[in-house]
Structures are given as C-alpha cells and as structure tokens.
C-alpha cells in the first residue's frame, strides 16, 4: 500500500446506518417515508414548518441516543495515527464523527444538534426540540429558529475549503454514500482530476462505483477498520 500524504474522506448516511440511523435512499430509508420536497427544502419549511420541525426533532432525539460504530472510530484513529493530513467531509448531520474523536471535520450539510436563526444568522448548539415559538439567544427575536441543516437548493457549507482539499489530496475515500446529491457527488471526479487514488467503501456498488479506481464492498463497521489498518500498515 503506497504511503499517502493527504487523505480526504467523504462520508454519507451508510456510515451511520449501523449506529441505528436511517439512510435516505435504501428501501426503508427516509425518502421512502417522507417526500424530501416537504421536509428538506426551504419551500417545504415555509409551507408546513411544523412537519419539518417534527422531522428533525425526531431525528435529533434519535441521533443523540446513537453511538459511533467501528467505522466512525476507525476514521478517528486514521486522523490520529496517519503521519499526513486526514480531512473528513461528512454529508451526515449527526454528531457521530465528533463522538468517535474526529476533529478535522466539515459538516457540509450542517448539523441537527445546532439551530440557525434565519433572522440574524446566529448558530447555537441545540439538543432540545425546535419550534417556531423559540427566541433566538443572539438577537432575542421570536420565530426565526430552524435546524442548521442544508436543504435542497441551499448552498452546502465550506465548499471552498473542500475544493482546496480535493485539489491537494492524493487519496479520496467515499464511505456509505450513494453519490446522488451534488455537489458532494462530484468530489470523486475532482479528486481524480487532481491525481488522487479514489476508493469507494460501501455496502454494495453505488450507482457511481465506476468513477472510483478501487472498491471494497461490505458493512462500514467491518470494511472501514480493515481499510484503515491497511493504510496504517497494520493490516
Ligand atoms: C446545491 C439535508 C446549489 C440534511 C440533504 C439536477 C442535477 C444535479 C444536481 C441537482 C439537480 N437538481 C437539483 C440539484 C442540486 C441538488 C441535488 O443534488 N439534487 C439531487 C437529488 C439530484 N443539490 C442541492 O440542492 C445542494 N445544494 O446544489 O446548491 C449550489 C451548489 C454549489 C455552489 C453553488 C450553488 C444541497 C444538497 C443538500 C441537501 N440536503 N439533507 C438532512 O436532512 O440530512 S441531502 C441528503 O442526501 C443527505 O444530507 C445526504 O447528504 C444526501 C446523500 O445521501 P447519502 O448520504 O448518500 O445517503 P443515501 O441513503 O443516498 O445512500 C446511503 C448509501 O450507504 C448507499 O449507497 C448504501 O448502499 C450505503 N449503505 C447502507 N448501509 C450501509 C451502507 N454502506 C456501508 N455500510 C452500511 N451498513
């Protein structure tokens, strides 16, 4: 296994599946139970805020009880033990990477356990249920609090920092993502164009598997620790 210097890891809902959190597009996933246009778009929130608050309140409560699995822990170990740079870019809005010890981490689609005031833009750590009745701790105004989550049609966070990391990386790993949602779905092409080796670690071949130079298929809690062992020369 060559010695890579700068590793970017993109993670998706499949990494948190074995921690008990639903994915989106699997047959029992969230989009099989909800219409994403109603619960994950600004228009849906404007039309029926109570439905969206409840969608995220349920996921936040469930997410706060979830524990990181060996896949999350292996990525934190990679960051600790790898002599070069390791950046985790997650599409997930749960806090399982932090709970596992990852620090060099970007939540490009936001975090459920954070509230955003749509009136003043302030972000506040938030583990309680959200509703329209709340007062923003920063601007003390009523009615603007929403989940700090990037909905469809909204611009993901830290795209410039991510683009720079993709330009510089020599290894790009995608873990547990179907590669359906842009701009995240385009990261593998950017990494490949920058000359990086690209690896898909997923339960089964994703629809974008052919874009990767290497694949390992199986449950993340099994294949991610094994792949990290290989990278660290322990495997
Ligand atoms: C933007 C909210 C403009 C948070 C989410 C037409 C063509 C191309 C693009 C578009 C288009 N029309 C519209 C767009 C843009 C749109 C988009 O991509 N739409 C898609 C559907 C076509 N994107 C946007 O709107 C984005 N914003 O484009 O802004 C812009 C952009 C850049 C610069 C300027 C302007 C915003 C996208 C964010 C939307 N928010 N969620 C939340 O509620 O969580 S998206 C939602 O789906 C998640 O956040 C997640 O990020 C995303 C992807 O899901 P995955 O994580 O991949 O999960 P999925 O269920 O799909 O797959 C799970 C995988 O795991 C599977 O492969 C499965 O096999 C595997 N798996 C399962 N179990 C396991 C496992 N693997 C291992 N082990 C297991 N045990």
Q: Determine the residue of 11, 12, 63 to mutate for testing ligand 1's pocket, defined as the one with the most ligand atoms within 8 A of the Cβ atom.
A: 12
Ligand 1 atom at minimal distance to the Cα of residue 40? 2
Distance 18 CA to ligand 1 centre (A): 19
Whether 1 shows a pLDDT value over 80: the answer reads: no
Whether 224 shows a pLDDT value over 90: the answer reads: yes
The answer, yes or no, to whether any atom of ligand 1 lies below 6 A from the CB of 12, is: yes
Whether 210 shows a pLDDT value over 80: the answer reads: yes
Ligand 1 atom at minimal distance to the Cα of residue 23? 60
pLDDT of residue 11: 98
Ligand 1 atom at minimal distance to the Cα of residue 39? 43
Nearest CA to ligand 1 atom 30: 155
Query: Can you tell me the mean pLDDT for 130-155?
Result: 96
The answer, yes or no, to whether any atom of ligand 1 lies below 6 A from the CB of 152, is: yes
Task: Report domain 1-21+68-109+156-235's class.
Answer: alpha beta
Query: Can you tell me the mean pLDDT for 96-100?
Result: 98
Is 1-21+68-109+156-235's fold the same as 22-65+112-149's?
Answer: no
Task: Report domain 22-65+112-149's class.
Answer: alpha beta
pLDDT of residue 138: 97
Distance 41 CA to ligand 1 centre (A): 13
Which carries the bigger pLDDT value, residue 219 or residue 29? 219
Whether 162 shows a pLDDT value over 90: the answer reads: yes
Residue 170 · residue 140 · CB < 8 Å? no
pLDDT of residue 26: 86
pLDDT of residue 234: 82
Query: Can you tell me the mean pLDDT for 146-170?
Result: 98
pLDDT of residue 86: 98
**Domain residue spans of the chain:** 1-21+68-109+156-235, 22-65+112-149
Query: Can you tell me the mean pLDDT for 213-223?
Result: 98
Query: Can you tell me the mean pLDDT for 26-42?
Result: 92
The answer, yes or no, to whether any atom of ligand 1 lies below 6 A from the CB of 24, is: yes
pTM of the model: 0.97
Query: Can you tell me the mean pLDDT for 52-62?
Result: 96
As a whole number, the mean pLDDT across the chain is 96
């Amino acid at each position: 296994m060559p010695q890579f210097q700068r590793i970017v890891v993109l993670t998706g809902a499949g990494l948190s599946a074995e921690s008990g959190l639903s994915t989106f597009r699997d047959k029992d996933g969230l989009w099989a139970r909800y219409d994403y246009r109603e619960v994950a778009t600004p228009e849906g929130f404007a039309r029926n805020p109570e439905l969206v608050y409840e969608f995220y309140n349920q996921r936040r409560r469930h997410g706060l009880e979830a524990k990181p699995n060996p896949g999350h822990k292996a990525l934190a170990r990679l960051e600790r033990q790898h002599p070069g740079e390791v950046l985790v870019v997650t599409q997930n809005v749960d806090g399982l990477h932090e709970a596992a010890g990852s620090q060099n981490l970007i939540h490009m689609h936001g975090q459920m356990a954070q509230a955003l005031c749509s009136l003043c833009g302030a972000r506040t750590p938030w583990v309680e249920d959200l509703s329209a009745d709340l007062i923003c701790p920063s601007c003390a105004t009523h009615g603007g609090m929403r989940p700090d989550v990037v909905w469809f049609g909204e611009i993901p966070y830290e795209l410039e920092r991510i683009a720079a990391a993709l330009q510089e990386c020599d290894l790009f790993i995608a873990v547990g993502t179907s590669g359906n949602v842009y701009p995240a779905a385009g990261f593998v092409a950017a990494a490949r164009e920058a000359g990086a080796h690209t690896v898909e670690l997923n339960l089964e071949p994703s629809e974008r598997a052919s874009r990767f130079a290497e694949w390992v298929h199986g449950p993340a809690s099994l294949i991610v620790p094994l792949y990290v062992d290989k990278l660290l020369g322990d495997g």
